[in-house]
Chain A
Amino acid sequence: MSKDFVLKKGLDIPVAGEAELRVSKTTAPGIVAVEPTVFKGFLPRLLVKEGDPVLCGSPVMADKKNPDILLASPVSGTVREIVRGEKRKLLCVLVESDGKRQCVDFGVREASGLDDAQVRDALLRSGLWPWLVQRPYGIVADPAVRPRDIFISAFSTAPLAADAAFCFGKDAAAAQAGVDALSKLTDGKVHVSIPADGPESPFASLTGCELHRFSGKHPAGNVGVQISHIAPIRKGDTVWTVSPAGLVAIGKLFTTGRYDVARKVAVTGPMAFAPAYIEAVPGMPMREIASFCGNSEGLRVVSGDILSGRTVGREGYLGFFDNQITLVREGTDKELLGWIRPLRFNQFSADRSYFSWLLPKKKYAMDTNLHGGPRAFLMNDGYYARVLPMDIYPVFLAKACLAGEIEKMERFGIYEVLPEDLATCEFVDPSKNNIQDMIEKGIDLMLKEMA
């Protein structure tokens, strides 16, 4: 059965630098990083020391609260260095690859023939468990919980996002195995959302799950937005989400017996030379994509999309969940009387006081300039709600988070959102508030108070 959802609100941000649909490079990094910091709610405990040999799929860290949850090495080789930051906070474990990609053999199994304990055990042991993200709060899922439903958004509407049909075109069988496995973990359903238009999704033929078709502008492809339309999260509900890359990785664990998180990554953005796809593993150093960056000064390297990705810098590493890298220029130059110039055709604005609406097809070489000074919220809620296809009052929620009022945050829907869902609101905000950061702090407060 499939349902169609047409979302009217939203905003597609026309950034230049879309990746061409070809793989221009297969990276074989000498060193990869296993970073615990990208997993919210994961407190790392080291399982290896420097010099230890590891295989692809060997555990490197475990969660302190829940020692069954493991992070695994994506390559085989030896542990090179354990990097710590302030107060000895564990930042990452660097693994030197031997280039052989020897894998731990977890055994090929038919996912549909297993029971829930076996599936859970297989995911935990293999280090694939952290792909499961719990809502509310966006933390690593708790293995002791049976979620109400599991949601997968099989596409992304983020600016310049990797094309799902291109990335996962050959992975339909693995995705099916992934759905079979995940369906054991919930009493409810596995919901998969695919785009209503465009090329046929490789996930369109999945069985054993509920298929939904979504069309609309960003953030229509965000799983949080989809959940709020399919079956909203109410107080007390717990649901899990998995990205399509995670679904395929989980499927491959059962079809090949291996920990395989290699993926196609789109290198995009206005500053990328010949933007295209690369084959990579998470934790790949950004040095590997130097050929896309050139020597330009003032470059921001973002792991993820331009709205919600992390700034990692040229010396950083590809994030675990990311299949996109965005290269964008630091906009540190001052623009003379910019705000009053009537035309400003090279700047994109969703507001009608500029003339971007005259050029709907134009792509803009955006930079990171804030385009104004930070102010208190001035425009009213509707100004933000027009880019958020959820039944939520974004300004009221953001203000409740600022004030730290738990009851109001609950009322205004903190359980339904992650910061990424309000990214378009943050983009259009003329007061230049960091709305995503406000939501993040609100969620942290909820985690602390509700624990």
Chain B
Amino acid sequence: MNKIFEKGGKLYWLHSTVDAFETFLHVPGTVTRKGSHVRDAIDLKRILILVVIAAVPAALFGMWNVGYQHGLAVGDPRLNILGNWWYGFLRVLPLYLVSYIVGLGIEFACSQIRGEEVSEGYLVSGFFIPLIVPVDIPLWMLALAVAFAVIFGKEVFGGTGMNIVNPAILTRAFLFFSYPNYMSGSDCWIHYKPAEKLVDGFTGATPLALDGASAQYGTGFWDLFIGTVPGSVGETSVLAILLGAAILIWTGIASWKIMAGGVLGALLVGAIGDLAGISTIPCYMQLLYGGFAFGIVFMATDPVTSAQTECGKWIYGLLIGALCIMVRLFNPGYAEGMMLAILLCNVFAPLIDHCVISAHLSRREKKRQTA
């Protein structure tokens, strides 16, 4: 690093930033000073870039789907795959720019204030945020929400690794409660310009809010599984999300226990709904609707905000799945419950861990006393 960026140098206030770009280019030449003399080749950059790679299929599909849904809405299915994708890409790109510029800007500034290296955590959050908001969200709202989530969700606690709730989910929650008109209902999920003429029988509602009514898009099992339905940008395709899940589970970055727990929890409450006659859709379809798949694979498994203990992960996953479907079935106000379920369980994760550990320690103590 150049001398002027070092302590006492003129541009020391840029130190964290320069360091971040330098370590982005090179693995730094720092050596171990204490403890183990050799270290594993893995670092957080590698882990987090893998999470981003895992989310790439969902992002690419989401961009295509933005174009495809627009085509359906205006009755103009002329565009081919690439054309649809390019159309969507141009709509989603501003979201990415806002998410990264605002989020990383705050992250760099806070790292400099703390005198630490810039953590890579926001690379992932920033990639997820555009995928979990409607494509037509005004950019200034997104900027405000990202700033709120990064500052009050993460930096006040001490940065990546210290946060209690997932910053991406917090961004969405901020938008959801501050600007409900832009985050729910039937006007925000499909991109179209006011001047464009829409097809007969057009509806902008997502399949979950549709509740069995007819729409210009298909709502069968395969439509939902492949994801050719309106929704937040990256959440519609269960297929693309499963690809990401496979990467995350294979590399062990995300816990399969949380995912399995979530699916079980959702099926359980969904089945109760079916049996009691509250629900009109079979319970397994609940897994395909809305943000469930994206949430349970990418959001709930965030290692910082999820439960840490192995048994705790099951409980945490089950709770998220169950709560999500409970909101869907029993709350007439909200069509979707995934965001709220994850947010709530993020807050409860330390408590779950505390209970699991206490139970484990007292069981162990009993065993030792009898031994």
Give chain A interface residues in 362-415, CB to chain B under 8 Å.
366-383, 391, 393, 395-396, 411
Q: Does B197 contact A (CB under 8 A)?
A: no
B309 partner residues in chain A, CB cutoff 8 A: 381-382, 393
Q: Is the CB of B41 within 8 A of A348?
A: yes
Q: Does A163 contact B (CB under 8 A)?
A: no
B37 partner residues in chain A, CB cutoff 8 A: 300, 302, 306-307, 309, 311, 326, 328, 368
Report how far A75 CA is from B83 CA in the complex, Å: 84
- Say yes or no: A372-B43 contact (C-beta < 8 A), given A352-B251, A434-B34: yes
How many B residues touch the partner, as a band?
35 or more
Q: Which one of B142-150, B153-161, B209-217, B259-267 contacts A?
A: B153-161
Interface majority SS on A: helix, strand, loop or mixed? Answer: loop
Give chain A interface residues in 300-346, CB to chain B under 8 Å.
300, 302, 306-309, 311, 326, 328, 330-340, 344
Q: Does A110 contact B (CB under 8 A)?
A: no
Report how far A307 CA is from B29 CA in the complex, Å: 19
Q: Does A350 contact B (CB under 8 A)?
A: yes
Picked from B30, B38, B43, B308, the residue with its CB within 8 Å of the CB of A430 is B43
Query: How many A-B contacts are there with CB distance less than 8 Å?
Result: 189
Q: Does B28 contact A (CB under 8 A)?
A: yes
A116 partner residues in chain B, CB cutoff 8 A: none
Picked from A309, A330, A382, the residue with its CB within 8 Å of the CB of B31 is A330
B39 partner residues in chain A, CB cutoff 8 A: 369-372, 426-427, 429, 432
Q: Is the CB of B36 within 8 A of A307?
A: yes
Q: Is the CB of B42 within 8 A of A353?
A: yes
Q: Is the CB of A306 within 8 A of B29?
A: no
How many A residues touch the partner, as a band?
35 or more
Q: Min CB distance, A168 to chain B, in Å?
A: 26
Report how far A383 CA is from B35 CA in the complex, Å: 19
A380 partner residues in chain B, CB cutoff 8 A: 255, 303-304, 306-308
A371 partner residues in chain B, CB cutoff 8 A: 27, 39-43
Q: Min CB distance, B148 to chain A, in Å?
A: 22
Q: Min CB distance, A393 to chain B, in Å?
A: 6
Q: Is the CB of B357 within 8 A of A351?
A: no
Q: Is the CB of A331 within 8 A of B29?
A: yes
Give the interface centre of B32, B117, B159, B309 by most chain A CB atoms within 10 Å: B32
Report how far A136 CA is from B313 CA in the complex, Å: 32
Report how far A199 CA is from B126 CA in the complex, Å: 55
Report how far A309 CA is from B35 CA in the complex, Å: 8
- Say yes or no: A374-B41 contact (C-beta < 8 A), given A334-B26, A423-B36, A437-B35: no
Report how far A428 CA is from B120 CA in the complex, Å: 18
Q: Is the CB of B308 within 8 A of A382?
A: yes
Q: Does B253 contact A (CB under 8 A)?
A: yes
Report how far A326 CA is from B50 CA in the complex, Å: 34
Apart from A306-B37, A332-B29, A369-B27: 10 A-B pairs, beta carbons within 8 A:
A331-B29, A334-B29, A351-B251, A369-B32, A370-B31, A371-B39, A373-B30, A375-B117, A383-B303, A430-B43
Q: Which residues of A are at the interface with B, using a C-beta cutoff of 8 A? A: 13, 15, 232, 234, 300, 302, 306-309, 311, 326, 328, 330-340, 344, 347-354, 366-383, 391, 393, 395-396, 411, 419, 423, 426-432, 434-437
7 tightest A-B contacts by CB?
A372-B43, A376-B161, A338-B27, A347-B41, A436-B35, A334-B26, A351-B42
The 12 sampled A-B contact pairs (Cβ below 8 Å) are A306-B37, A311-B37, A328-B37, A334-B27, A336-B26, A340-B46, A352-B250, A373-B28, A377-B161, A378-B304, A380-B308, A427-B40
